[in-house]
Structure 1
Amino acid sequence: MNTGDLHKPLLDSLSTAIILVDDELRLRHMNPSAEALLAVSCERTLGEPITQFFYESAETPKQLLAAADQSNHYTKRHAEWQLLGGGQITVDYTVTPLGEDPGLVIEVQPIDRLLRISREEMLTSSQETTRNLVRGMAHEIKNPLGGIRGAAQLLARELPGSDLLEYTGVIIDEADRLRNLVDRMLGPNQLPQRQTLNVHEVLERVATIIKAESNGSIRLLRDYDPSIPDLEADKEQLIQAVLNIVRNAMQALQEHGVPSPEIRLVTRIQRRYTIGRHHHPLVCRLDIVDNGPGIPEDIVKNIFYPMISGRAEGTGLGLTISQHLIHQHQGLIECHSEPGETRFSLYLPMEAQHAEV
């Protein structure tokens, strides 16, 4: 009886993905966890080179063969595997010789979910810290602004000639402009007024606004899942959150003169989805995808912070406000961008929860 047959019942009971290969990297056995991870069947691919099921780098086969030949073991962290079916996963894996029996044991731990949770927690924490900082700065700015405006009004009353009122008018107007800017940085200051609604009502309202603003110059494509149930949310806040993102996409397409500009609105249901460390049985995902030039790499990681914008005319506040509005619904917005496609994904839990400002 060979090693694979001897340990097959034990290996098949493990939740860790286990792959057994011979000294030429041909598949001898993989347990059900490995089959699910790589999306291949052990029975159908037995004897095939393991390197045809995933691609990491050109050096990977050499490293595996060297480990088998020299009976060495090694571990790799955060390895990016391109799967046969076209998907991509991030894994930690350990390669261990079988001992006297030629071949290797490859233990694989997918870490995509852990990385995503860590990234979401860091984003949420950073945004909360930024929001508290902005709140503090806003109060420090608005208080003297009120004094400046009041003093300018009193001065205007005491000036002997109307020719000098132009200057006090400038002071008052600029003070009002700065106050409005601070108010926009703070964003909405009320709890969501939840009501039962269909998410497609929100998207259609936004599509109508964008169609009018763009004079029909941008093609709007819908890819809706009609089976998505109604959810409890603040309709106006969701419209504002989605509109800020779609309007940014429209303006980027117009500013760069993209030929055949288009924006896709996509809705899907995701089951058993985790946002931060909160597990949700059902999450509604809204994707807003444009075919523009993409967001610069040095900006995309900080795109949700105040005053960060990839557009010359952008204020850097729209996405910050959108993230805050979705966060009040216990959701999250993610951004993935490359030349030719920018995708904003909004995740909204289907179950109603209490929110805090």
Structure 2
Amino acid sequence: MKLKGIFTIILSIILCTACSTNDEEPVVDVVIDNGDGDTDTGGSDDQGDSSNSLATIVKLNAFTNLPLKSIHFADENTGFIAASKNDETTTISEIYKTTDGGITWNKVFSDNFYIENIKVLTPNLIAAVALTGEILISKDAGTSWEVHTIFTNRGVVLKDVTYDKHDEIYVIGYHEATKKGVVYLTWNEGELWNEYTGNDEFKEMMQNNMLSSVDYIKETGYMIIGGGLNNKGILVTQFESKFEILETNQPIRYLDVAAKSGTVMAVGNNGIVNSASELGGIYGVYSQHNWTTFDYNDNNRLTAVALGTGTSGNIIAVGRNKSNNLTNGEFITLSKDNGNNWERINHQFPTAAWNDIHALNEDTFIVIGNNGLLILLTVK
């Protein structure tokens, strides 16, 4: 059965209008960064389908009560989710795998640290990174996992991972105390890790640069790393082993980047939870156009972005509502023309705390968030 055919059998269920407390911290002027600028509390009991002029949204079956942190697929059917929680009493992560496009999920790993990101590097090679320095590698499509602890408890926050055409795994993050960015890489699927130190120019790029996200365009050999500080966005690009810095002048840190062909989108926020001061932003490049700031008609804090596959111009960014806003579904915005025009997608999940999004094809996306919430979003 084709993927879209599977989704059509999911029927509408009752829309719950009960509201709970917001998933954000109490309203404050400055939020202490815990590695991703957000906190995981609250949740939503809303269920069902919602449709509007922009998209159809279907809530998929929950398989854990943990916040869903990161999602990535090898193809339209096979993918992985990292679910993670870190509070005063519990630190735990779980990894789940699907082989039917997100309809059902099976647990394949769990441990007592906080997984920040998971990526499918090849159909068999899966990698994940944890905030306290652990690197997880599966070489058999998630059946078994190796936990590398060479960077554990060394004051390094690991944020994201990618894979290049030379079969090198790159892990990026930053030193928690100094906010200096770090890049680690391996040539042998995790058996030996090295820190990329580069020349003086590269070392200068890493100063006050909390590297937080990375993506790689296999077709062109182009890598994009997002980071900066909460008041200064920085992108670092790499091509043919040469790193260059791109200071964007946006007062945000880039928490996620997505890239394909000649299109790059970087999104983030300033880490403030206060309706008067909080801010998000989008920066990127489309085809041969110059890098630019994209106006998405709002200033909501953004956490993740995904590009529709193929030649699609669909781009979806997700994030947070304004502080204590329980009247609207948590923030999702859509562009159908590669970022030139944006429109908010309305839905019924006001405390979703969206953490990540992945494009299954040109029109279909999976969005994940708080308390095991995941939705299937199909652009009309």
Question: Shorter-chain TM-score category?
Answer: under 0.3
Structure showing greater radius of gyration is 1
Instruction: Considering Cα pairs closer than 8 Å and 6+ residues apart, tell me whether 1 or 2 has the greater RCO.
Output: 2
Structure holding more strand per residue: 2
